[in-house]
Amino acid sequence: MTDLKLPFWAGGAALVLAATFFIRDAYIASLVKLCCIAAVTAVSLRLVMLMGEVNFATAAFVGIGAYTAGAAITILNWPFLLALLAAGVVAGLLSIVFGFVTLRAKGPYFMLIGFAFTEAVRILYSKSETLGGTSGMIGIFPPRALDGWMPTFIGGVSLLVIFALFVLEKSDFGKVLIAIRDNENVARTVGLNILFVKIACFAAASVAAGIAGSLHAIANNVISPGDFSFLVAAFALAYVKVGGEGHILGPLIGSVLLVVLGSYALGLGGDEHIFYGAAIVIAVLLLPQGITGLLTGKRTNSTVGN
Amino acid sequence: MQTTQAVLLRTKGLTRRFGGLLAVSNLDFEIRLSEILGLIGPNGAGKSTTFNLISGFYKPSAGELFVFGENCTGKSPLAISRLGLVRTFQHGSLMRSMTVSDNIMLGTMHGVKLRAKRRERVADTAEMLGLTPFLTEEAGNLPHGLQRLVSIGIAFAARPRLLCLDEPLTGLNQTEVANTLTVLQRIRDEFDCSILLVEHNMKAVMKVCDRIVVLHHGQHLATGTPAEIRANNKVVEAYLGHRNDK
């Protein structure tokens, strides 16, 4: 399967992981972790964009993953890796139920349902005493053995998840997603169960979002409902739009660029949100295909707006 | 003799109203095994509505629809397509951003589970339609005539028992029309696949169809072989113009 570009991925992953070995500065380490988590979230968002939907519920599933991992580690004392896996599984299973109900809606309606779901789930955390209410959960620590290796670990897990979604996109299943975006009726007339395909895509994206959430939990050690508002999805959308949605590298480039810029802005005492807003405006006006579109010069189809 | 042939699709009193408009009224017709059936009629005769009714995209207001012996009245497009009735659309029945190969592959996705077998099916289908040289091209970049063939290719890749084509010849030049008609005949003869052809190109319909159903103002006007239809006074009056034109 030549279209998977395995040497490219292996080389890129080796380079990134090797680079993490040399991180000694705590600030750089936290930046790397933020970039990885942002990238997984954005790639998850983009997977659903392949079938033409903007999935604001991404934010909810990041939160669900984070709280699952948090609860598994601090309340249930589960082994660390099992907690991460549980985060993906719980997010995936819940997304199947949510998707079964909501994926009959399309476009702005689906987007609004995701938005509402995210806010509803966030309120649920803050009302639950087990989950720490509005102050959230504390003490979500990775095992001692990972001390000093966190950027490498988070980078490795992120790359694995991103590569898995890339394989999915390049498979025949991925082609069906694009067919649903381009011409849903044709896909339906050749015997494809559109709702089933949409749920499968949504579930895969939500597993990734859940894992991103669990990484957030172990990277921060502390989570609170406020971390998982719809802004998580809005930022992810900015990463995808700035980086370009035509290729999976788009959300990667977008995440790294915007997280680094945003973090720099934070250091200046400014509000980093301004960067995100400006980045979206500039990207939409000047780079409709994002940075990757500029690099490849290829014509790609935009999801939003057609 | 023909009445003994197996019937793939039958409608009984099929009716569809849009508000006060009776788009299709009390329509009875059948599609038999290994035939190309033409569905013709002037604009607004109810051809497209009929097409949408039998493929499940519209629910009938009254009447019944039997596909391969099963009562499919009110069934979803998905259920009907899974029985083996696959349709195309008049406009843009393909994915413009995808390659020809990936387009055709879509038709194989439900029926063929193994990736390698799907590739085989795609290659066979492309060969049949003469699309092999264009497999890696983006479908949206192809000339109109080839795009029409790709649409047929997506549908035929599902290897339907009944292939329903909505105006597949529109905008084609004479060579392309002749080429497409040959493809349709091969699909009928080599795969025992029946074809329902909704088409405005009268010459082509007369040439390729085994039987023709004529609709007029949503009602059934006549059924018969091309020769019978040509000789039918009611049809000539409603549709074909003056008898001596031909």
A44: phi then psi, degrees, rounded to nearest 5 = -65, -45
DSSP letter assigned to residue A149: T
Burial (CB count within 10 angstroms: exposed 0-12, middle 13-18, buried 19+), residue A149: middle
The pLDDT value given to residue B241: 59
Q: Where are the beta strands (DSSP E) in chain A?
A: none
Mean pLDDT of B98-114: 92
Does the beta carbon of A135 lie under 8 angstroms from any beta carbon of chain B? no
In this structure, what is the dihedral angle of CA atoms B107, B112, B118, B123, given to the nearest 10 degrees? -60
CB atoms within 10 A of CB A195: 14
Q: In Å, how far from its chain's centre is CA A180? A: 21
The pLDDT value given to residue B30: 94
Model confidence over B178-193: pLDDT tens digits?
A: 999 999 999 999 999 9
Question: Is a pLDDT exceeding 90 seen at residue B91?
Answer: no
Give the C-alpha separation, B158 to B78, whole Å. 13
CA–CA min distance A287, chain B (Å) = 19
Domain coordinates of chain A in residue numbers?
20-229
Residue B204's pLDDT band, with cuts at 50, 70 and 90, is very high
The pLDDT value given to residue B244: 52
Model confidence over A94-118: pLDDT tens digits?
A: 999 999 999 999 999 999 999 999 9
Q: Rg for chain B (alpha carbons), in Å?
A: 18
Q: Indicate the pairing of strand B21-32 with strand B7-18.
A: antiparallel
Residue A212's pLDDT band, with cuts at 50, 70 and 90, is very high
The pLDDT value given to residue B240: 56
Residue A54's pLDDT band, with cuts at 50, 70 and 90, is very high
Model confidence over B224-242: pLDDT tens digits?
A: 999 999 888 888 887 655 5
A74-106 b/e (C-beta count within 10 Å ≥ 16 → b): beeebebeebbbbbbbbbbebbeebbeebbeee
Please give the helix or strand (H or E) that residue A278 lies within, else none.
Answer: helix A273-286
Does the beta carbon of A2 lie under 8 angstroms from any beta carbon of chain B? no
ipTM of this predicted complex? 0.85
**Both tokens assigned to A96:** 């199947």
Q: Is A22 left (phi over 0), alpha (psi -120 to 50) or beta?
A: alpha
A-B contacts (CB, under 8 Å):
72
DSSP letter assigned to residue A72: I
Find, in chain B, the residue whose alpha carbon is nearest to that of A300. Answer: B97
The pLDDT value given to residue A20: 86
Find, in chain A, the residue whose alpha carbon is nearest to that of B102. Answer: A175
The pLDDT value given to residue A269: 65
Model confidence over A24-37: pLDDT tens digits?
A: 888 889 999 999 99
Helical pair A26-50 and A249-267, crossing angle rounded to 10 deg? 140
Please give the helix or strand (H or E) that residue A59 lies within, else none.
Answer: helix A58-70
Q: Quote the Cα angle for A165-A171-A175, to 5°.
A: 100
Give the C-alpha separation, A190 to B87, whole Å. 8
Question: Is a pLDDT exceeding 50 seen at residue B150?
Answer: yes
Question: Is a pLDDT exceeding 80 seen at residue A168?
Answer: yes
What is the model's pTM?
A: 0.89
Question: Is a pLDDT exceeding 90 seen at residue A294?
Answer: no
Residue with tokens 């413009």: B96
- H/E/C letters for each residue in chain B? CHHHCCEEEEEEEEEEEECCEEEEEEEEEEEECCCEEEEECCCCCCHHHHHHHHCCCCCCCEEEEEECCEECCCCCHHHHHHHCEEECCCCCCCCCCCEHHHHHHHHHCCCCCCHHHHHHHHHHHHHHHCCHHHCCCEHHHCCHHHHHHHHHHHHHHCCCCEEEEECCCCCCCHHHHHHHHHHHHHHHHHHCCEEEEECCCHHHHHHHCCEEEEEECCEEEEEECHHHHHHCHHHHHHHHCCHHHC
- Across chain B, mean pLDDT equals 90
Smallest Cβ–Cβ distance between A190 and the set B97, B115, B158 belongs to: B158
CA–CA min distance A266, chain B (Å) = 41
In this structure, what is the dihedral angle of CA atoms A224, A227, A228, A233, given to the nearest 10 degrees? -170
Q: Which residues in chain B are closer than 8 Å to A176, comparing Cβ atoms? A: 106, 109
B82-104 b/e (C-beta count within 10 Å ≥ 16 → b): bbbbbbbbeeebbbbbbbbbbbb
Question: Is a pLDDT exceeding 50 seen at residue A5?
Answer: yes
CATH 3.40.50.300 residue ranges of chain B are 2-84+160-245
DSSP letter assigned to residue A78: -
Model confidence over A169-203: pLDDT tens digits?
A: 999 999 999 999 988 888 889 999 999 999 999 99
Q: Which residues in chain B are closer than 8 Å to A175, comparing Cβ atoms? A: 98, 102, 105-106
Question: Is a pLDDT exceeding 50 seen at residue B245?
Answer: no
Smallest Cβ–Cβ distance between A190 and the set B86, B92, B115 belongs to: B86
The pLDDT value given to residue A299: 47
Per the CB < 8 A criterion, the answer to whether A209 and A61 are in contact is yes
Give the C-alpha separation, A224 to A231, whole Å. 14
B85-87, strands of its sheet edge to edge: B85-87, B162-166, B194-198, B36-40, B211-216, B219-224
Q: Does the domain made of B2-84+160-245 have the CATH classification 1.10.150.120?
A: no
The pLDDT value given to residue B228: 92
CA–CA min distance A189, chain B (Å) = 6
